[in-house]
Amino acid sequence: MCFSANASFTAGVVLTAIGIATIKKVQHPRQLLFASIPFLFGIQQIIEGFLWITLPRPGSIIIQTALTHLFLFFAQVVWPVMAPVSVLMLEKRGAGGRGLLKMLVATGVCVSSFLAWCLLFNHVSAQIDGAHISYRQNYPDALGDVGGILYVIATVAPSFFSHQKKMWLLGSSILFSYMISQVFYTHYIISVWCFFAAVISVSVYFITDQVKRTAIANSVNRSILITPS
């Protein structure tokens, strides 16, 4: 995240706490991946907090490299797959829109695989630039702007094809935060957008709670229907 180590650690601790509370609301294993999003974002922010601490120390190059790779692993490998898969798992079998979500999962897998290869076989580094962390990645320009578009589609679009209430608000917020990051923080977009998305992921708690309430209501309604008068 941008700003400071304290801000990163604060965001990380708050998000992991909210993530644990969200996971406790899970009633079915298919909800677990989606519910764990705030927790994983919290871990990612804590990783960047430690990166803030180690970057000014030349003797910590090994730790810096490990933390940089770990942060980018979350940002570029985990999220393109986790976002569409977690939304798909919330959808009922046979529900309309699952075909599109499966296509987005395939898109996410392709983007994630390519970026994983880039992360493994190309030089990456991080440095503090004012009040931000800048990630330098010597990736091949094989996909160029197309790769960036596919990444955004894989991570944002699934929310718009979900039948869960208010899920589209989550996608809209993350998309808006991406545009803000792209316009005002172009050179720090990985760090800044991850922060915005992490903060917005708090809404996952309320969506998961809504899923739980809907399931309980449906269960009660079924019980009423089958109860003999």
Alpha helix positions (H), 91-202: 98-121, 145-156, 167-184, 189-200
pLDDT at position 27 = 87
**Residue 137's beta-bridge partner residues?**
124
CA distance 199 to 201: 5
88-107 pLDDT tens trace? 999 887 666 788 999 999 99
Hey, what are 141's tokens?
């320009």
169-182 pLDDT tens trace? 888 989 999 999 88
Domain ranges within the chain, ordered by starting residue = 5-217
> What φ, ψ does residue 132 adopt, rounded to 5°?
-140, 165
Q: Is the pLDDT of residue 200 over 50?
A: yes
Hey, what are 42's tokens?
């919290």
> What φ, ψ does residue 47 adopt, rounded to 5°?
-60, -45
What does pLDDT average to over the chain? 87
pTM comes to 0.87
Residues 88, 102 contacting (CB under 8 angstroms): yes
Q: Is the pLDDT of residue 25 over 60?
A: yes
pLDDT at position 1 = 45
120-172 pLDDT tens trace? 999 999 999 888 899 998 888 766 678 888 999 999 999 998 888 888 888 89
pLDDT at position 215 = 67
